[in-house]
Chains A and B, each alone.
Chain A
Amino acid sequence: MSNQASNSTATPMIEFIGINKFYGSLPALVDINAEVKKGEVVVVCGPSGSGKSTLIRTVNRLEEIQSGVLRFDGQNVHAKISSLAMNHLRSRIGFVFQSFNLFPHLSVLDNVMLSPVKVNGIKRSKAREIALQLLDRVGLSSKAQNYPAQLSGGQQQRVAIARALAMEPPAMLFDEPTSALDPEMVGEVLAVMRGLARDGMTMMCVTHEMNFARDVADRVWFMDAGRLLESASPSAFFGSPQHPRAQRFLSDLRAR
């Protein structure tokens, strides 16, 4: 399962170097130093309010930071760059939201096609072809002409994944992709994510799905109160967590 081992170069895809972020005087992220290597799957876990979502949203600069350097594929994300360069950078970072955020006025197919056509300037016929392939990959080619409102939550999230993949990003970020789903729909979304991981996609996932973390992740990051307290392989993290806060978190999870 470990992509890290097969990827001998192991160059970093996402680097967090001394990241700090405050909401007013409230620290949201405190001195984060970590990296996600190419081909690696990192699962970020921790109690709610620990800064997981904030951290993942700094990667494509949906959240600003106050200090530190964040590199995506070698590019400094939070540097003073033109908005054009920023848009281009964002288009290369696949992002999947907790609340799906499909565009309700567009059909499923148009949701997936919109950005390749309008951002990357790909021909409609070509974009359509790619979109249909991706919808097939997430098992929804039969829903291409439907509108998001006609789909279940799990189906919507799979469309959202296809929409992000349509930009052919070298890495995918998932911000609690299954937290807004009915329990019976969680599996279908995780299955798509497992498939992506198997194909060698670099992934950073904020999730509470610990089985997914155990099976798919190369590393698990544990966060609390804006700090990255632990970064370990899944077996080490679930077998013998080092930090007391992580121990308590895991025992609370088991108690549920």
Chain B
Amino acid sequence: MTLLFNMIGIVSDNWLLLLVGQFPNGPLGGIAATLILSILGIALAFPLSVAMALARLSPWPVLRWPATALVYVVRGVPLLLIILWVYFLLPLLIGESVPGFVTMLATLVIYEGAFLSEIVRAGITALPRGQMDAARALGHSHLGAMRYVILPQALFNMIPSIISQFVSTIKETTLGYIINVPELTFAAGQINNRLLTKPFEVYFILAIIYFVVCWTLTKLASTLERRIAVRRARSMDGAAAPALAAASRT
């Protein structure tokens, strides 16, 4: 019971810090920064991931190889290491110091880009081959077929997976803590440092906040997934029923 009181006390004393960090007196932080970082990360990673998926599926090896290599490297290395690489390399490359927020954003774009590209690729290859055949037979170029026929269907089917990836991204932003990105975990760390005696309460609050945000989004994803499955089943009906009839005939 005292635990609950303590937690309510901590939240009511520090809610602004948890919400927006030291903004407007300092950089934007807290849950606002976490969400902005995640949204920007996914939003910027998305076009990159479509380009990488197309490159991996393209008929031209010049595009296929680099994209495949990048995906394998990123998937085979811990996120923390990529953060450190970007943290130390990016300032060297552009010749000036880079804010933690930007470092973390760049990391997320690379990391999520690679993972999302695998999702997009799976979405493309899951479509029946006949779709590409039909588009090519009508005279569309490979890219035209992708643009007008394949991607609209694949991306629609991929919406739930993309939301799941967004949830992962939110959780991954916590790693920004080690390079002092002022996001939600960082704000909790500040509170803990000030109170000193209540780490359990502070980090329990932190866990609850992450859980509520991520659980809501996961719920949304599964609802959408069900709706899309229903729609897809309906769109299959037309093709599947006669195919079954044909199978039973032969």
Contact = CB atoms under 8 A, between A and B. Distances in A.
Nearest to B129: A101
Interface of B is mostly: helix
Contacts of B131: 101, 103
A163 B135 CA distance: 11
A160 to B, nearest CB: 8
B1 interface: no
Contact of A105 (B144, B152, B237, B241): B152
Contact of B238 (A60, A87, A148): A148
B128 interface: yes
Contact of A87 (B128, B141, B241, B243): B141
Interface residues of A, number: 42
A115 B239 contact: no
Interface residues of B, number: 31
A152 interface: yes
B149 A103 contact: yes
Contacts, number: 99
A164 interface: yes
A167 B139 contact: yes
Given A101-B130, A148-B235, A153-B238, A118 B137 contact: no
B213 interface: no
Given A119-B138, A163-B138, A181-B246, A99 B238 contact: no
B54 to A, nearest CB: 16
A104 B130 contact: no
A91 B136 CA distance: 8
Contacts of A183: 245, 249
A221 interface: no
Interface in A199-219: none
Contacts of B243: 99, 180
A149 B148 CA distance: 18
Contact of A185 (B142, B235, B242): B242
Contact of B138 (A147, A148, A167, A180): A167
Contact of B137 (A60, A149, A181): A60
A90 B235 contact: no
A106 to B, nearest CB: 8
Contacts of B136: 62, 87, 90
Interface of A: 60, 62, 83-84, 87-88, 90-93, 95, 97, 99-105, 114-115, 118-120, 147-153, 156, 160, 163-164, 167, 179-183, 185
Closest 3 CB pairs of A and B: A91-B139, A101-B134, A153-B242
